[in-house]
Amino acid sequence: MTRASDAPGSASDDFTLPENLEGLDAATLKRAHAFLAALAEGTFPDGFADSGMLTWADRLFEPQTGAHPASIEERLKAAESRFLTLVEQIPAVTFMAVLGEGENDVYVSPHIEHMLGYSQEEWLSDPFLWYYRLHPDDRARWNEEFARGVRTGGPFRSECRFLARDGREVWVHGEARLVKDARGRPQYLQGVAFDISESKRAQEALLQVAVQQARNAEEIAIAHRVQTSILPREPALPGLEIAAIMLPADDVGGDYYDVRPHDEGGWIMIGDVSGHGLDAGLVMLMVQSVASALTVAHAPIRPPELLALLNQVIYDSIVHRLQRSEYVTLSVLRYRRDGLVEFAGAHQDILVLRARTRRVERISTPGPWVGIRSQIGDIVEDGEFILEPGDVLVLYTDGVTEAIDADGELFDVERLCTAIEEVADQSPAEIRDYLLIKVESWSPHPTDDITLFVAKYSPPE
């Protein structure tokens, strides 16, 4: 044995170095001794600081009389004590069951009380307590996985619920294996169990979020199909060159437009359902169906009358059948070949680019929303305007004028009018595409549907 010199401030006068460390230089030994001395002082705050107490030497030490060789029995007891202390300090339940030879020794660590509320003594006194506390719905899986582990020799793994003393459900992850003797006979089963309840709750929360997201995605996909499938494929009316587009947002907002021809010209409709998602899509589908039926069944009907009848049906469907509170901002326009346009409803301003002035005229659409009250015939307002040769009619939804830039500023109707005037000489398709580029440049990530309807008037022969 070799003695290292004392470290500064050490509470120990001597430090005996094991022979397998002989040959180290004095500076290294001194630093090691100083470290152990400091560790001893922190471990024994009462002032007793013997660095030798920090090691598990092959000798036992008597603080008063010095060291003496320990007997085999003493060394076994010390090792067992150290092992038991180590096992019982692990923040998990360790367990063991002896198998065969008529033995029925069982051990479970005291941490079982922290996990399930039963003391170590209670658990050991009743060898079937663990089975009684296993959740009834998980017993079959536990037995199946345990049997598989026994057949294969392990490891056995399972995640099951246990019922704690206070009624809580505790998710437990258990792992065990069979330990065999030299002849391959099973001697005992040993394992460990962890409380994974927090992890399971986090998994369940994530799963619920994922399921809800999947449902929302499916709902939006259905609403997209509903919304786009009922739009006119190739809208056309005599005397009008038409270019239109509807771009659904990620969360469907219920934009709607339609073109229905008749002998004198045709109907143009544009609207937006409040709310988002599948309900908005269903309301929009009902509006389209009812409006189409009314224009066919009542060919001479005027816009105010059509709007009042449509509202009566939609109100009943929304309030009494769907039991929802959605409403629709809707404008219905009856177009005639001679350029006369009659309209009713409440939606965005109607914009007309006048060919003779190359300026946009804004026409307001006062009136009630559809679906707010059962009868609106007495409050519907109507209006009219004349399209002249070369005039361009522009209809849109609030996804255009309420598009927001990075600073939170709206695209607004004034910018829309300016953009229209910038391409006054272009075709309807070119005007539509230009306006769309302007809006998308202003707001690259729109949160609402975008609908644009552009039509240039040329008197038919």
Among 227-236, 245-254, 399-408, where is mean pLDDT lowest? 245-254
Enclosing H/E stretch for 441: helix 428-442
Same domain, 288 and 183: no
**Strand (E) or helix (H) holding 334:** strand 328-336
What residues form DSSP beta bridges with 3?
16
In a domain, 21, yes or no: yes
Helix residue ranges, H only, 317-405: 398-401
265, 354: one domain: yes
In a domain, 336, yes or no: yes
How many structural domains are present in the chain? 3
Q: Which pLDDT value is given to residue 3?
A: 42
> Exposed (0-12), middle (13-18) or buried (19+): which is 259, by Cβ within 10 Å?
buried
Q: Is residue 82 part of a domain?
A: no
Q: How far apart (Å, rounded) are the C-alpha atoms in residues 443 and 457?
A: 30
Secondary structure in 3-state letters for 186-247: EEEEEEEEEECHHHHHHHHHHHHHHHHHHHHHHHHHHHHHHHHHCCCCCCCECCEEEEEEEE
* Residue 262 CB burial class (10 angstroms; 0-12, 13-18, ≥19): middle
Distance, in Å, from the CA atom of 142 to the CA atom of 166, rounded to the nearest integer, reads 22
225 assigned to some structural domain: no
The pLDDT, as a whole number, for residue 130 is 84
pLDDT, average across residues 344-353: 96
Task: Establish if 50 belongs to a structural domain.
Answer: yes
| Residues 141 and 22 both lie in one domain | no
Average confidence (pLDDT) over 72-100 = 67
Tell whether the torsion through CA atoms of 267, 268, 273 and 278 is positive or negative.
positive
Among candidates 190, 112, 94, which has minimal Cα distance to 149?
Answer: 190
Residue 4 has a pLDDT of: 40
- Identify whether residues 26 and 143 lie together within a single domain: no
Co-location of 345 and 286 in the same domain: yes
In a domain, 79, yes or no: no
Distance between CA 187 and CA 443 in Å, rounded? Answer: 72
Does 365 share its domain with 259? yes
Answer yes or no: do 422 and 313 share one domain: yes
What would the mean pLDDT of 365-393 be, rounded to a whole number?
93
**Pick from 40, 55, 70: which residue ends a domain?**
55
Indicate whether 77 belongs to any domain.
no
Query: What distance in Å separates the CA atoms of residue 201 and residue 151, rounded to the nearest whole number?
Result: 32
Q: Hey, what amino acid is at 450? A: I
Give 137-185 pLDDT, tens digit per residue: 998 888 888 777 767 766 788 889 999 999 999 999 888 887 887 887 7
Residues 168, 23 within the same domain: no
The answer to whether 179 and 95 have CB atoms below 8 angstroms apart is no
Q: Which of 1-10's residues contact partners 24+ apart within 8 Å by CB, and which partners?
A: 2/29, 4/29, 4/30, 4/32, 4/33, 5/29, 5/30, 5/33, 6/33, 7/31, 7/33, 7/34, 7/37, 8/34, 9/34, 9/37, 10/34, 10/37, 10/49, 10/51
Q: Which residues pair with 353 in a beta bridge?
A: 360, 392
In this prediction the pTM is 0.59
Task: Specify whether 7 is located in the same domain as 156.
Answer: no
Q: Give Cα separations from 447 to 15, 348, 354 (angstroms).
A: 75, 18, 32
Residues 253 and 152 in one domain: no
Measured CA to CA, the distance from residue 71 to residue 59 in angstroms comes to 9
CATH of the domain at 101: 3.30.450.20
291 is in which domain, residue-wise?
230-457
- Indicate if 236 and 191 belong to the same structural domain: no
Establish if 60 belongs to a structural domain.
no
Nearest to 7 by CA among 21, 26, 24: 26
Of the ranges 92-106, 152-166, 215-229, the best mean pLDDT one: 152-166
One domain, residues 404 and 318: yes
Instruction: Residue 313: give its domain's CATH number.
Output: 3.60.40.10
Q: What is the pLDDT of residues 427-450, one digit of tens each?
A: 999 999 999 999 999 999 888 889
